[in-house]
Structure formats: C-alpha cells, structure tokens
Amino acid sequence: MDKQTKIFIAGHRGMVGSAIRRTLDQKGYQNLIIATSSELDLRDQQSVYTFFSSEKPEVVIDAAARVGGILANNDYPYQFLMENMQIQNNLIDASLQNDVSKFIFLGSSCIYPKLAAQPLKEEYLLTDSLEPTNEWYAIAKITGVKACQAIRKQFGKDYVSLMPTNLYGTHDNFDLNTSHVLPAMIRKFHEAKENGHVPVTLWGSGTPMREFLYVDDLAEAVAFVLDNLLPEYLYNVGTGEDLTIKQLAETIKNVVGHQGEIVWDSSKPDGTPRKLMDISKMHALGWRHQIELHEGIEKTYGWFLENQQHYKEVKL
C-alpha cells in the first residue's frame, strides 16, 4: 500500500480506531482521513454519502460500532442491532458507490454460534444459534460480513472482514455499566485496593474460557491486510490461546495489587462457555500476535491509572 493512499478510519477515537491510527502513523501513512461523530454522524446515510463524495477515500477501515458488554447488549437490543447496521451499511455502500478499492470491516467473535466446536473456524458462520445475550450485535455484524462478501462476489472488490477475539488495551471503556469483562475487572480491583482491599464481586461462576487480544496487535493485523491481497473474505484474528475467567481475574488482581477476596455471583449469567478462535488462516498468511496477556494487562492498567479521573468511583 502506497503511504500516500487516502485511508478513512471510521471510529478513530475508539479503542480500536485509535490503535489503528497510531499504528498507521508509525508506519508512515501520511494521508489518513478522520472525522469525529460531531463532524460526521455515521448513522446518517446522506451525511456519509456527502462525506465520501467530498473526501474521496481510496481505502476505508470500519472500526466504528456501538459496543458494550452483556449488560448493555441485554438492555439496549434495538440500538445494538439498528445503529450498528446503519453505521456499517452506510460505510459499505458509500464505499461501493465511490469506487473505494479496499474495505476492511471489523467485527467480533460473537458472530459464531454459541455452542460451535472449538476453536472457532470461519466456516462455522451461520451454522447454528447465537449466544442470546449479544445476538443483536452479532446479527448486525453478520450482515456487515455478508455485505462485504457480496461485493467481493458481485463486483470483485477487495473487501475483507476481520473477526477479532475479545479486545482490550489503552483507550478501553472502563464504565462498569457498559464495559467488557477485562477493563471492568481492572477498575473493580483497582477501586477495591483503594478502599482497603475490600472483596470484589464478579459475575458468573468464573469457569467460562476466553481469549484476549491486545488492541495494538489487531492494529498490526489491519496494517498487514493493507499490505496484502487476502484470498478469502473472512479471517479470524486472535492469539489462539485462552484461559478461564477465574484465571483472568487472578492475573488482573496480581497486576493491580489487590489483596482482598474474590466473590463469584453465580446468579449472574456466564455467557458462552468457551470462545477460542482458530487463527490458522492468518498464521498461514504470515501474521501473528506479539503482545502476551500479562504484558498487555500491565499496559492497560498503566493507561487506566493515567486516565482514571474520567471515571467516578463506585460503591463496591
């Protein structure tokens, strides 16, 4: 990819988008296009079409989405379904109409069936029922994957979808009502430590297994896709390694320095029993993650400490 290529990063202020922007800046890309949500509402079709007609990007990276954990997905199913479809449909169709040569669509491992065989292979898509607690978000993302596949099939364009495993890192969301499990744990253990190492209550049994990818590694995967013509429409991106939620909690507890008790509230839902990605296709192409979990958690906690003034303390 030419370093002068006009690349639009949708969602550049989020955890994923900001990591992609940093990575591409570091690699010498000099023509990155960005727009804040106040400048461009991606849910507004006409605004998106006008923006594309004016800016004429050659490549689009879709890192924009409404995201959240189990609680947020459960409480706002319509918004998670509709707003994500509006955002991605506007971006994908505007890209097609304006002859964008490469489109990178970022999704989530939740597109795969709840009880699919492990590790999750790309071909498992649409073979069984989804996890009910996040099916609204998953269905939206599946439509994005299929739209990009349809464009590849019908128009022969280089539109590819990357499905990352659970992401974490700097610029993550630490709001306890809407965050994912890892940043929520970081905040809970930190505030428990600050309050005299009081017990920390966590949702579920702690037995489900999860895989986590540091967000800068996903950004490197995006850069890899920019530089290569991938032969298929869908690729998993992850580490190929997982651990139990209990093991995750103990790791975060140790990094944070909390010395109190962990209480597991088994009345709360666990979600999918296991989600491990089969990343053999990306490995075969030459991409691999670089940042291991313990190092990534240290980096993320360090960023949280520098930015915790944005988060109000809660009663534990």
126 is in an annotated binding site: no
CATH (domain of 87):
3.40.50.720
- What pLDDT is stored for residue 131 in this prediction? 87
101 is in an annotated binding site: no
> Structural domain tally of the chain?
1
Is residue 200 in some structural domain?
yes
Is residue 105 in some structural domain?
yes
Mean pLDDT of 172-197: 91
Q: Which residues contact 88 (CB under 8 A, 6 or more apart)?
A: 62, 64, 65, 105, 140, 141, 143, 144, 147
In angstroms, the CA 189 to CA 70 distance is: 19
Q: Which residues contact 89 (CB under 8 A, 6 or more apart)?
A: 143, 144, 147
| Beta-bridge mates of residue 285 | none
Are residues 112 and 131 in contact, defined by beta-carbon separation less than 8 angstroms? Answer: no
Is residue 58 in some structural domain?
yes
Catalytic residue list contains 159:
no
Of 137, 159, 233, 301, the active-site residue reads 137
Is residue 314 in some structural domain?
no
**Residue 119 domain boundaries:** 7-309
115 is in an annotated binding site: no
pLDDT at 140 over 90: yes
- What pLDDT is stored for residue 311 in this prediction? 61
Interval 249-280: pLDDT, tens? 999 999 999 999 999 999 998 877 888 999 99
pLDDT at 316 over 50: no
164 is in an annotated binding site: yes
The CA–CA distances, whole Å, from 109 to 53, 74, 185 equal 33, 17, 21
Q: Which residues contact 84 (CB under 8 A, 6 or more apart)?
A: 65, 66, 137, 140, 141, 144
Burial of 94 (0-12, 13-18, 19+ CB in 10 A): buried
Q: Indicate the average pLDDT of the chain.
A: 93
Is residue 298 in some structural domain?
yes
Sign of CA dihedral 231, 105, 81, 174: positive
Interval 52-108: pLDDT, tens? 999 999 999 999 988 766 677 778 899 999 999 999 999 999 999 999 999 999 999
- What pLDDT is stored for residue 67 in this prediction? 74
Is residue 167 in some structural domain?
yes
182 is in an annotated binding site: no
